Structure 1
Amino acid sequence: MPVIEQGPIELLRRVRELHQSGVDASCVQRQHEATRLLRRGIRLLDSMHPVPPAHHDDWLRLRIRLLTTLAFSEAEVVGLAEGLARLDDVRTAIERFHDPAVRAELTAPVNHNRGLLLMGGGRNEDSIALFDAALAYREEQLAATPEPVPAPMVESLLNTLATRGLAYTRLGRVKRAREDLTRGIKLAEKHELRVSVAEVRRHLGALERRIGNVPAALRCFDESERTYRALEMEVPTQLRRERVEALLAAGLSDEAGEHLDEILPRLRQGRDNTRELADAELFRAEAALMSGDLDLARGLAESARQRMRRWGCQTCVANATIIGLRADTADALRTGEIPAALPARALRHARSMSAPRLAEQATVAKMLTVRVEIRRGNLRRASTLLAEVPRPGQLTPIDHRMLRRLCRAELAVARQDRRAALAEIRAGLAELDRVRDRMGGLELVSGTALHGRELGELAVRLVLGGEDPRRLFDWLERTRAQTYRYEPLPQAEDPELAECVAEIRGLTQSIQQALHDGHPTAAAKARRAELLREAHRMGWHAGNWGKPRPVAKMDEVAARLGNRALVSFAASADELVAVVVLDGGASIVRLGSAERAAESARMLNVDLNAMAPDHTPAPLAEVIMTSARRQAERLDEQLVRPLLAVTGERDLVIVPTGGLYAVPWGVLPSLHYRPTVVAPSATAWLSAELAGAGRARKVVLVRGPGLPAARAEIDKLATHYRTSKQLSGQGATATAVLPAVDGAKLAHIAAHGAHEPENALFSRLELADGAMFAHEMAGLRRPPRQVVLAACELALNRIRPGDEALGFASALLASGSQTVIAPLSKVGDQSSAAAMDDYHRALAGGASPAVALADAIAVDPMRRPFVCLGAG
Structure 2
Amino acid sequence: MVFAAPGDALARAEALLAAGPPPLHASVAHQVIGIWQRDWGDLRIALHHLRRARDLAARADSAEREGDVLGTLGVALVHAGRTRQGLAAFERGVVRTTGHTRARVLFRRAYAWWVLGHHREALEDVRRAIPVLRQENDVIWTARALTLRATVHLALGAVDRAEADFTAAEALWDTTGQEHDKADAVESRGLAAFRSGDIPAALRLLAEAEQRYARLGTPTFMLDIRRCEVLMAAGLAPEALAEADAAIGELDGIGGQSTRKAELLLTAARAARLAGDPHTATARAAVAVRLFAAQRRTWWETHARLVLIEARHAAGRASGRLVADAAAVAGKLAASGAPAAPEAWLLAGRIALDLGRTADAERHLARAARSRHSGPPLARLTGWAAQALRARAAGSSRGVLEACRRGLDVLDDHRMTLGASELRARATAQGAELAALAQRASLEHGGPRRLLVWSERWRATALSAPPTRPPADPELLGDLTAFREIAARAEEARSEGRPVPALEREQRRLEREIRARTLHLRGDAPGGGDRFDAARLLARLGETRLVELAVVDGRVHVLLCGQGRVRRFTAGLLAEAEAEAEHVQAGLRRLAHPGAEARLPLVEAAGRRLEELLLGEAAGQLGSGALVVVPPGRLHRVPWALLPSLRERVVSVSPSASSWLRARETEPPPGGGHVLVRGPGLASGGAEVPELAGHYSDPTVLDEEHARVPRVLRELDGAALAHIAAHGTFRNDSPLFSALRMSDGPLIVHDFERLARSPYRLILSCCDTARFASVGADELLGLVTALLPLGTAGVVAASAPVNDAAVVPLMLALHKGLGAGLSLAEALRDARAALPDDAVHRATGWAFTAFGAA
TM-score of the aligned structures, taking structure 2 as reference length: 0.90
Deviations for 1:94-137, whole angstroms, at most 9, x for unmatched residues? Answer: 24xxxxxxx42x23422321221122222334334443554444
Query: Once the two structures are superposed, what CA deviation does each residue of 1:442-487 show, in whole Å capped at 9, x if it has no partner?
Result: 1121112111111211221222224611111111111322222236
5+ residue gaps, structure 1, are 1-5, 96-102, 143-152
Moved more, 799-808 or 25-34: 25-34
Point out the more displaced range, 177-186 or 70-79. Answer: 177-186
Aligned counterparts of 2:607 and 2:657: Cα–Cα separation in 1: 25
2:425 and 2:229 mapped to 1: Cα distance? 17
The partner residue of 2:536 within 556, 562, 575 is 556
Count of residue pairs brought into register by the alignment: 829
Q: 1:868 aligns with which of 842, 847, 850?
A: 850
Question: Are 1:369 and 2:340 an aligned pair?
Answer: no
* 1:635 alignment partner, one of 610, 616, 624: 610
1:175-209 Cα shifts (integer Å, max 9, x gaps): 33223333444554565766554332221111111
Residues 588 and 801 of structure 2 are in contact (CA less than 8 Å); yes or no, is this contact kept in structure 1? yes
Task: Give the equivalent residue in structure 2 for 1:32.
Answer: 44
Partner of residue 842, structure 1: 817
**Deviation at residue 558 of structure 1 after TM alignment:** 1.0
Q: Which residue of 1 aligns with 2:14?
A: none
Counterparts of 2:48 and 2:345, CA distance in 1? 44
Match of 1:748 in 2: 723
Contact 1:282 1:304 in 2 (8 A): yes
Q: Which residue matches 1:146?
A: none
Question: 1:100 corresponds to which residue?
Answer: none
Q: 2:104 matched to 1:109? A: yes
Query: Which residue does the alignment assign to 2:34?
Result: 22
Contact 1:763 1:773 in 2 (8 A): yes
Three-state SS of the structure 2 residue aligned to 1:811 is: helix
Q: Could you say if the C-alpha distance between residues 239 and 115 of structure 1 is closer, same or farther in structure 2, counting changes exceeding 3 Å?
A: same
| Deviation, structure 1 residue 491 | 4.5
* Counterpart contact for 2:571–2:615, Cα < 8 Å: no
Letter of the 1:785 partner, please give it.
Y
Q: Secondary structure at the match of 1:486?
A: coil
After TM superposition, give the deviation of residue 398 of structure 1 in Å: 4.3
Q: Mean Cα displacement is larger for which, 742-751 or 35-44?
A: 35-44
Is residue 131 from structure 1 mapped to residue 126 from structure 2 by the alignment? yes
SS in 2 for 1:662: coil
C-alpha distance in 2 between matches for 1:352 and 1:201: 31
Q: The residue matched to 2:675 in structure 1 has which SS? A: strand
Quickly say closer, same or farther: Cα 1:815–1:154, change in 2 above 3 A: farther
What is the SS of the residue equivalent to 2:756? Answer: coil
CA RMSD across the alignment: 2.9
Contact kept? 1:601, 1:659, Cα under 8 Å: no
Instruction: Provide the residue aligned with 2:484 in structure 1.
Output: 505
Partner of 2:157: 172
Alpha-carbon distance in structure 1 between the residues aligned to 2:531 and 2:377: 22
Q: Is residue 92 of structure 1 aligned with residue 95 of structure 2?
A: yes
Q: How does 1:428-443 map to 2 (within 5 A)?
A: 428-443=407-422
Q: Give the distance between the partners of 1:675 and 1:154, measured in 2 at CA.
A: 73
> Which position in structure 2 is the counterpart of 1:346?
326
CA contact (8 A) 1:211 1:395 kept: no
The DSSP-based 3-state class of the residue aligned with 2:635 is: helix
Shift of 1:68: 2.8
Counterpart-to-counterpart distance in 2, 1:617 and 1:829 = 12
Find the counterpart in structure 2 of residue 720 from structure 1.
695
Choose which of 271, 275, 281 in structure 2 pairs with 1:287. Answer: 271
1:837-871 per-position Cα deviation (integer Å, ceiling 9, x unaligned): 22222212321111112222443331231111122
**Deviations, residues 374-402 of structure 1 (Å, cap 9, x unaligned):** 33333233333444446227764545433
CA contact (8 A) 1:422 1:459 kept: yes
SS of the residue aligned with 1:587? strand
Q: In the alignment, is residue 327 of structure 1 matched against residue 311 of structure 2?
A: yes
Encode CA deviations 1:128-152: one digit per residue, 9 max, x unaligned: 444355444444555xxxxxxxxxx
Structure 2 match to 1:674 = 649
What is the alpha-carbon distance in structure 2 between the residues aligned to residue 711 and residue 691 of structure 1?
30
3-state SS of paired residue (1:710): coil
Tell which deviates more after alignment, 715-724 or 380-389.
380-389
CA contact (8 A) 1:485 1:551 kept: no
The match for 2:588 among 608, 614, 619 is 608
- Specify whether residues 265 and 704 from structure 1 end up closer, same or farther in structure 2 by C-alpha distance, changes over 3 A only: farther
Say which is worse superposed, 114-123 or 13-22, in terms of deviation.
13-22
Cα distance in 1 between the residues matched to 2:597 and 2:851: 30
How far the C-alpha of 1:606 sits from its partner, in A, is 2.1
- Is the partner of 1:391 in helix, strand or coil? helix
Q: Distance in 2 between matches of 1:315 and 1:861?
A: 64
Amino acid at match of 2:848: F
Q: 2: CA distance between counterparts of 1:361 and 1:274? A: 24
Determine the C-alpha separation between the residues in 2 that align with 1:74 and 1:164.
22
Q: CA 1:512–1:841 in 2, change beyond 3 Å: closer, same or farther? A: same
Q: Secondary structure, in 3 states, of the residue corresponding to 2:550?
A: strand
Letter in 1 for 2:48: R
Query: What is the aligned partner in structure 2 of residue 145 from structure 1?
Result: none
Q: CA deviation at 1:526?
A: 1.4
Change (3 A) 1:710 1:301: same
Q: Which residue of 1 aligns with 2:203?
A: 218
Q: CA offset at residue 809 of structure 1?
A: 0.9
Query: C-alpha separation between the residues in 2 aligned to 1:814 and 1:277?
Result: 44
The aligned runs of 1:238-387 (5 Å cut-off) are 238-332=222-316, 338-353=318-333, 355-358=335-338, 360-387=339-366
Structure 1 residues 490 and 295, CA gap change in structure 2 (3 angstroms): closer
Moved more, 553-562 or 31-40: 31-40
- Give 2:192's aligned residue: 207
SS state at 1:631 partner: helix
Query: In the superposition, relative to structure 1, how do residues 414 and 129 fare at CA in structure 2: closer, same or farther (>3 Å)?
Result: closer
Q: Which runs of 4+ in 1 moved over 6 A?
A: none
Q: Does 1:599 align with 2:579?
A: yes
Check whether the contact 1:539–1:761 (CA below 8 A) recurs between aligned residues: no
Task: Identify the match of residue 830 of structure 1 among 795, 801, 805.
Answer: 805
- The 5 Å alignment of 1:38-77 reads 38-43=50-55, 48=59, 51=60, 56-57=61-62, 60=63, 63-77=66-80
- Is 1:118 matched with 2:113? yes
**Contact kept in structure 1, 2:467 and 2:753, CA below 8 Å:** no
Q: Distance in 2 between matches of 1:187 and 1:492?
A: 35
More off after superposition, 64-73 vs 580-589:
64-73
Residue 637 of structure 1: how far off its partner (Å): 3.7
Range 681-690 or range 253-262, more displaced: 253-262
Query: Which piece of structure 1 moves more, 381-390 or 557-566?
Result: 381-390
**1:161 paired residue among 137, 146, 149:** 146
- Please tell me the residue identity of whatever aligns with 2:513: E
- Mapped partners of 2:610, 2:654: distance in 1: 19
The one of 762, 768, 784 aligned to 1:793: 768
What secondary structure, in the 3-state scheme, does the structure 2 residue paired with 1:636 have?
A: helix
Provide the residue aligned with 2:514 in structure 1.
535
- Which residue of 757, 764, 788 maps to 2:739? 764
Q: 1:718 to 1:386 in 2, by over 3 A?
A: same
Distance (whole Å) between structure 2 residues aligned to residue 541 and residue 857 of structure 1: 44
- 1:761–1:354 Cα change, 3 Å: closer
| Aligned-partner Cα distance in 2 for 1:244–1:708 | 45
Distance 2:479 2:498 in 1: 24
Deviations 1:673-717 (A, max 9, x none): 322111111111111111222304222221222124234222122
Contact 1:673 1:857 in 2 (8 A): no
Return the alpha-carbon distance in structure 2 between the equivalents of residues 623 and 218 of structure 1: 53
The AA in structure 2 aligned to 1:82 is Q
Query: Would you say the 8 A contact 1:77–1:310 is kept in 2?
Result: no
**Does residue 756 of structure 2 align to residue 774 of structure 1?**
no
For 2:853, give the aligned amino acid.
A
Q: How many Å separate the matches in 2 of 1:391 and 1:180?
A: 28
Task: Find the aligned partners of 1:193 and 1:13 in 2 and give their Cα distance.
Answer: 22
Identity in percent: 28
